[in-house]
């Protein structure tokens, strides 16, 4: 089975490769050999490989920068996956699009988790670009059971650019840090997300996904609701417990109003993952357990730089 992974040097791409099944032959695509701003060349690569699956992890994920770089964000997050999906439809292959909670506005009156059937209403360019990609993938693969959309959020990993590593670095350098406490969501540890991707790919019958949602949409997060402030507290407290950090930095809650950003964030972005749990027969784990699992792999060198052992085992 040939699997083409875009964004192979990103958090999910790296983890997918780390966890790959024995029978999977990986074609790892990154900016050097698969620049998503050069769509014609990407299509040539896809045709030459003729993969069974494309897992589209590649994306313009800086939500604030997307506001001032609309054309690039739209090219990478919408036009590129649109072209890749069309090519895979023509080749008869399957397509897994990694999407986001940012396709919703977070203005949930009843604070109930978003289901896969809820209407999309993105707030900013990043969410708009990902929502448009979803729309095209739903349409192009309609009736084929070959195009899957997997939404996730708040990814935490022991490498790359994410909230966990940013907080760890702030804890090392400051006596006090301020963290937003009025954005409600659920973190997703990168190993859990990669495992779910492989479970989708290895399903004998993808039709069961479409029986749950006619457009082939699934949600995945770790279990439990929280906010960024609570996550930061957990990082500090568990970091001290495992001797990753030694400072008792004060973590102070603030409101979104007190921390303005170019892009608006959804105030509530909990996703209902029950259909994915049924389809994949996968219960998931509590977000705290996922965070601890990641933090146990992180080390601090003598120069106060965090790193992960390249030979780490999951």
Domain range summary for the chain, segments of one domain joined by +: 2-160+185-224+269-285
pLDDT at 248: 85
Q: Is the confidence at residue 309, as pLDDT, over 90?
A: no
Q: Are 64 and 41 in contact (CB under 8 A)?
A: no
The catalytically annotated residue of 78, 102, 114, 126 is 126
Q: Are 220 and 277 in contact (CB under 8 A)?
A: no
Q: At 147, is the secondary structure helix, strand, or coil?
A: strand
Average pLDDT score over the chain: 95
Confidence label for 142 from pLDDT (cuts 50, 70 and 90): very high
Tell me the residue ranges of DSSP E strands in the chain. 2-6, 25-28, 53-56, 94-100, 147-152, 155-156, 176-180, 184-185, 188-189, 217-219, 226-227, 250-254, 298-300, 306-308
126 is catalytic: yes
Model pLDDT for residues 23-42, shown as the tens digit of each residue: 999 999 999 999 999 999 99
Q: Is the confidence at residue 303, as pLDDT, over 80?
A: yes
Model pLDDT for residues 60-83, shown as the tens digit of each residue: 999 999 999 999 999 999 999 999
Model-level pTM greater than 0.85? yes
- Pairing relation of β-strands 184-185 and 226-227? antiparallel
> What is the architecture of the domain spanning 2-160+185-224+269-285?
3-Layer(aba) Sandwich (3.40)
Q: Is the confidence at residue 314, as pLDDT, over 70?
A: no
Token couple for 254: 């603030």
């Amino acid at each position: 089975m040939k699997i083409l992974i875009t964004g192979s040097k990103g958090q999910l791409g790296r983890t997918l490769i780390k966890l790959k099944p024995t029978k999977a032959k990986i074609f790892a695509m990154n900016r050097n050999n698969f620049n998503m701003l050069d769509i014609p060349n990407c299509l040539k690569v896809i045709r030459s490989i003729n993969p069974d699956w494309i897992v589209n992890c590649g994306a313009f994920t800086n939500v604030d920068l997307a506001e001032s770089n609309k054309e690039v964000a739209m090219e990478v997050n919408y036009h590129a996956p649109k072209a890749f999906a069309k090519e895979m439809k023509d080749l008869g292959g399957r397509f897994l699009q990694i999407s986001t909670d940012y396709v919703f506005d977070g203005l949930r009156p009843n604070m109930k988790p978003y289901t896969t059937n809820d209407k999309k209403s993105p707030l900013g360019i990043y969410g708009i670009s990902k929502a448009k990609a979803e729309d095209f993938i739903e349409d192009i693969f309609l009736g084929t059971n070959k195009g899957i959309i997997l939404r996730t959020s708040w990814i935490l990993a022991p490498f790359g650019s994410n909230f966990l590593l940013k907080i760890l670095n702030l804890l090392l350098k400051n006596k006090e840090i301020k963290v937003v406490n009025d954005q409600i969501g659920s973190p997703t540890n990168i190993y859990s997300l990669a495992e779910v991707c492989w479970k989708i790919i290895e399903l004998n019958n993808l039709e069961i996904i479409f029986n749950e949602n006619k457009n082939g949409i699934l949600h995945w997060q770790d279990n439990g609701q929280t906010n960024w402030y609570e996550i930061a507290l957990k990082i500090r407290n568990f970091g001290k417990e495992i001797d990753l950090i030694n400072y008792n930095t004060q973590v102070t809650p603030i409101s979104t109003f007190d921390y303005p950003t170019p892009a608006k964030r959804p105030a509530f972005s909990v996703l209902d993952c029950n259909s994915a749990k049924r389809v994949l027969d996968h219960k998931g784990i509590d977000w705290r357990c996922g965070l601890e699992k990641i933090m146990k792999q992180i080390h601090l060198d003598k120069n106060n730089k965090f790193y992960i052992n390249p030979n780490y085992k999951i």
